[in-house]
Structure 1
């Protein structure tokens, strides 16, 4: 038989189906979901419109800030409001807020990772009871204990200092952080722990060589959560500080509010500048953050 009469293979772009189950999965994957798309568009509009209005108002002159249409772009855009903010102590407030956020994140991560490790690896009654008791902090609002906290801060001579903001903020961020990290640690296979134990690994070695590398998603979630708690906190700075030296960004916004009125464009310009650093942190850790939140800190 000649080569011209041999049957030629037919090339296809799609792979052959792998049975009925595979065909059903592929049909479901190709099926459109218009309701989900509509919901995504609505949510995008809900988020984008206020952000646009805030940025647009921050570029507006003060005498035009109270116009009838908040979504109308400024007729004469100006950066004078940002110049006012930058020359009105914004750098000092930003530095204090960054210090508070970094300290809160460090305290939460250093304490919560070992605590979650002990809660997951210890099967005793007392460890479980202590874990459940610790999680009661999730149900206690900061407003309910602000007076006892004020007395404790005053007795410790920490009033009107950055430590008066850092310590309570870290304490109230820890219950949720431990809840996230315990979810992460429970996803680590028991066989991996047993293999390291057979190699003679101590609990401390397991913590640093096994738990921490496999818990990056949960740790990233905790870092972003604690940073947000510190960055956006208002109650503790308002109650536990008084002078200009320990003032943070949330209190710095009051510089544009007086008994005679509010400088709305400068206030919104300060809000825009305040949100840029934490937005940058989210962009860096967004994948790990989403992965951690999808599984309550899971992988």
Structure 2
């Protein structure tokens, strides 16, 4: 029995190696292409090692306005995260602590938003933004992106806040704490992992959003990174190496955020189901 337990699992090792190839090969192809000239990339293929490594692709990405696109995307992301966190935390707290038919109906209404894709309502959203006088502005991207992120975020925070014991609420009440003090001193600290999950999720939605920036903006000064990548595509050719270099640079901020909040993100997602 002891020798069987210490026997190497060849099937598991083979599966892990295959998964490493699935993840590693595309990542290698992405990074290797950013150090190649466009002519070398087209002739040698995506898996070839760079024979003459160069940083021209990264320089060309910055020269084509990538810094401005990233700045606009950061502004949109910060606005979306601020709105989503503020609204979802308060809404989740009200849904969990207010146990009546109105809170249940409100929660079901938000859950209904999970079944509505943004492509299905893009025309009404466009008309609303135009009527509000917000067309071709960063706010026009922030508002609908935050609205479509709220259902998932409220679901996450409601599940996280249900894990807070009623005994803690009673202890705060006996200590003379009101609703505001209980919210800021008890609920927010204990729901920190859920809040981090909501912040990362909404940031991903804002950073990778394409449909709303495409429909609701048109000027170059309000262009975000997903639309800015079109600068590397012409009518008759595509600068693949420069495009991939821009993708790498645009991914760095999100990668840093993930490294900082990865533990809270995992624990927050584990608490979605609640008790």
Please report the TM-score for the alignment, with normalisation by the length of structure 2: 0.93
The Cα of 1:68 is off from its aligned counterpart by: 5.4
Go from structure 1 to structure 2 and tell me whether the alpha carbon gap of 1:192 and 1:40 turns closer, same or farther (over 3 Å shift).
farther
Task: Measure how far apart 1:43 and its partner are.
Answer: 3.1
- How far the C-alpha of 1:254 sits from its partner, in A, is 0.4
The 5 A counterparts of 1:282-297 are: 282-296=258-272
Q: Which has the higher helix share?
A: 2
Partner of 2:217: 241
2:105 equivalent to 1:116: no
Which structure 2 segments of 5+ residues have no match?
none
Structure 1 residue 129, shift from structure 2 partner: 1.0
2:221 alignment partner, SS class: coil
Q: Is the 8 A contact 1:153 1:164 kept in 2?
A: yes
State the shift of 1:52 in Å: 1.1
What is the rounded CA distance, in whole Å, between the counterparts of 2:39 and 2:193 in structure 1?
48
Q: How does 1:93-172 map to 2 (within 5 A)?
A: 93-172=69-148
TM-score (norm 1): 0.86
Question: How far does the alpha carbon of each residue in 1:260-286 deviate from its partner, in whole angstroms, 9 at most, with x for none?
Answer: 110000000000000000000000001
1:230-271 CA deviation, whole Å, 9 max, x = no partner? 001111001100011110111110001111110000000000
Cα distance in 2 for residues equivalent to 1:227 and 1:186: 24
Question: Residue 45 of structure 1: CA displacement?
Answer: 2.6
Give the direction of change, closer, same or farther, for the CA distance of 1:44–1:217 in structure 2 (3 Å limit): farther
Q: Equivalent residue for 2:171?
A: 195
User: C-alpha root-mean-square deviation of aligned residues, in Å?
Assistant: 2.0
CA change 1:131–1:94 in 2 (3 A) is same
Give the CA deviation at 1:296: 2.0
Match of 2:53 among 77, 87, 95: 77
How far off is 1:74 after superposition?
1.5
| C-alpha deviation, 1:67, in angstroms | 3.4
- Partner SS for 1:201: coil
Higher Cα radius of gyration: 1
Among candidates 35, 48, 61, match of residue 59 of structure 1:
35
- Give the distance between the partners of 1:131 and 1:41, measured in 2 at CA: 44
Change (3 A) 1:225 1:206: same
Give the CA deviation at 1:208.
Answer: 0.4
Q: Indicate the residue corresponding to 1:204 in structure 2.
A: 180
Are residues 155 and 130 of structure 1, via their aligned partners in 2, closer, same or farther at CA, if it must alter by over 3 Å?
same
Partner residue, 2:191: 215
> Helix, strand or coil for the counterpart of 1:71?
coil
Cα deviation, 1:184-236, whole Å, max 9, x if unaligned, reads 10111111011111222111111100000001110111111010000011110
